[in-house]
Amino acid sequence: MRHGSTGLTAMAVALLALAGSAFAQADPFGALYGPPPGAPPAKDASSGRTGSTSISGAVGRSYVGAQAGGQVSLAQLDMMPDMAPPLPVALQGHATRYLANRPKIAIPGYSLAFVQGASASAFGGGAGLDTSQRRTQIATRLVGLTDEMARDLADMAYADLVAQLEAAGFEVIDPAQLQSSDQVRGLARHGDAFGGKGIIDSRATKAWIVYGPRSLAPIKGYAFETGMGAIAASGALMSFGRASRDLDAVIIVPRLLIDYIDMESTGQRTYSGSASVDAELRFGINPTSRIDFVWGNNGGGAMPGWFTTKGAFTPQPFGILAQTADRSDSIATHNALVTIGFGSIYRQSLVYDAEISPKRYAALSRAAVQGFNAALVTEIRKARGQ
């Protein structure tokens, strides 16, 4: 199918004019939001750059480009409140009756993970006489989250769950008693069992990085591992069963994955002459998050249950998208081929930093943790008839 040349030419001009608008720039008014002259910068201050909150990339037979939307300054985000209300979270449970089979609660680990990178791509193969293959891709990476900040949030996640459980009247086994349990002490962990580094680096997980509380490194098999790495969960399960019996407590191991972006694409379409991808900053709880719990019977058997979630998201701002690389084919070559009547085999590839305001990102992370924990406490109370 042939397209009208006038409309497409206008579209091409508009898209090409906007192609460079996604690059982040220094906020000319950034100094107005910062500390007074001579004062040290705030610990949680961002770079102060400006950028976009959404990106759309598109390729077609006679047009190509990327459009940015939602211009935002990180310096302005730094001025926003460092508190946010708990994020409402809904949990779906399996075998929740086990939560009532032991009076106490033990939390041997709490995995808090953060999505580090995400990408989306689309392909359009054309149809009829227009069978040129066109691809578009947007890749993003999270920038601004430090190990210290993430570990502070992991400590907070564990402490908040304990506090909410105790406020609801539940007895929670303290870390010292946990360490005295041979079963808990013998769990295989990422890092030393107690007080180790407790970080699963993104080079291993590819898409995210996992942290545990400083006193409880992530348990192997319960830290978002995939493939062979998840097999360790079966060995830990039996230890949980015996620990549940010995401590007279239900074992609970939360896994919370914080996400920063929503990406969509038109997918792989053979009979389409165009393809597009969209990326939009969106803070929330990834549906991969879950909570495992185990009741150990008097024989030391392990009876597992779990909660899953469809995720939870908020529209509150927390960062910018700043273009860092354009690995696309030559637009000039594309235009030349179109001018002489040929379709273009065009491959668009754009790379963006998703740079956060640490203050805002931490505030929303705390809100996600508190909402996730509150949902769990509600489900435990429900299972125990409260």
Please tell me the predicted confidence (pLDDT) of residue 42. Answer: 60
Cα 345 to chain center, whole Å? 34
Q: Kindly report whether the global pTM for this prediction surpasses the value 0.75.
A: yes
pLDDT band at 38 (very low <50, low <70, confident <90, very high): low
Predicted pLDDT of residue 176 = 86
- pLDDT, position 41: 56
In this prediction, residue 16 carries a pLDDT of 33
- pLDDT, tens digit, for every residue of 127-171? 655 566 778 899 999 999 998 999 999 999 999 999 999 999 999
- Residue whose C-alpha is closest to residue 293's, from 379, 365, 230, 367: 379
Tokens 């310096």 correspond to: 75
Task: Supply 286's token pair.
Answer: 């990834």
Q: Which two tokens stand for residue 308?
A: 């899953």
**191 compared with 102, residue with greater pLDDT:** 102
Which pLDDT value is given to residue 21? 41
- For residue 198, the model assigns a pLDDT of 56
Alpha-carbon dihedral sign for residues 172, 178, 183, 184? positive
Report the pLDDT averaged over residues 339-350. Answer: 75
Cα torsion through 199, 204, 205, 210, rounded to 10: 0
Is 63's pLDDT higher than 90? no
Q: Can you spell out the DSSP letters for 289-309? A: -EEEEEEE-TTS-EEEEEEE-
Q: Where are the beta strands (DSSP E) in 87-218?
A: 92-94, 104-106, 111-115, 117-124, 134-143, 171-172, 199-200, 208-211
Q: What are the pLDDT digits (tens) for 357-372?
A: 999 999 999 999 999 9
What confidence tens digit (pLDDT) does each residue in 4-15 have?
333 333 333 333
pLDDT > 90: what percent of the chain? 60
**Phi, psi (5° rounding) for residue 301?**
-70, 155
Least reliable range by pLDDT among 108-112, 127-131, 229-233: 127-131
Q: Is 260 in contact with 281 (CB distance < 8 Å)?
A: yes
Q: What is the pLDDT of residue 128?
A: 58
**pLDDT for res 336:** 75
* Calpha distance 91→36 (Å, rounded): 46
> Which of 136, 137, 132 minimizes the C-alpha distance to 271?
132
Nearest alpha carbon to residue 251 among 238, 234, 263, 268? 238
Q: Which of 188, 189, 170 is nearest to 248 (CA)?
A: 170
Across the chain, what does the average pLDDT equal?
85
Look at phi and psi of residue 144 and say left if phi exceeds 0, alpha if psi is from -120 to 50, else beta: left
Residue 340 has pLDDT above 80, yes or no: no
Residues of the chain with pLDDT > 70, as a percent, come to: 81
Q: Which residue has the higher pLDDT, 88 or 23?
A: 88
Indicate if the pLDDT at residue 37 is higher than 70.
no
Residue 35 near residue 42 (C-beta atoms within 8 A): yes
Q: Over 70: is that where the pLDDT of 235 sits? A: yes
Distance CA 350, CA 277 (A): 11
Asked whether residue 288 carries a pLDDT value surpassing 80, the answer given is yes
Q: What is the pLDDT of residue 12?
A: 34
pLDDT attached to residue 205 = 61
Please give the pLDDT value at position 195.
43
Planar angle of CA 347, 20, 49, nearest 5 degrees: 125
Q: Which of 17-31, 200-214, 236-250, 322-336 has the lowest mean pLDDT?
A: 17-31
What is the DSSP-derived secondary structure letter of residue 108? -
Give yes or no for a contact between 207 and 116, defined as CB atoms under 8 angstroms apart. yes
Q: 């879950």: which residue's tokens? A: 290
Q: Which residues contact 74 (CB under 8 A, 6 or more apart)?
A: 27, 46, 47, 48, 49, 50, 51, 319, 320, 355, 357
Residue 309 contacts residue 10 (beta carbons within 8 Å): no
The confidence score (pLDDT) of residue 346 equals: 75
Say yes or no to pLDDT of 196 above 50: no
Q: Which of the four pLDDT bands, split at 50, 70 and 90, describes residue 28? A: low
The residue type at 247? L
pLDDT at 342: 67
3-class DSSP state of 115: strand
Question: In degrees rounded to 5, what are phi and psi of residue 317?
Answer: -75, 155
Whether pLDDT at 70 is above 80: yes
Axis-axis angle for helices 358-383, 147-167 (nearest 10): 30
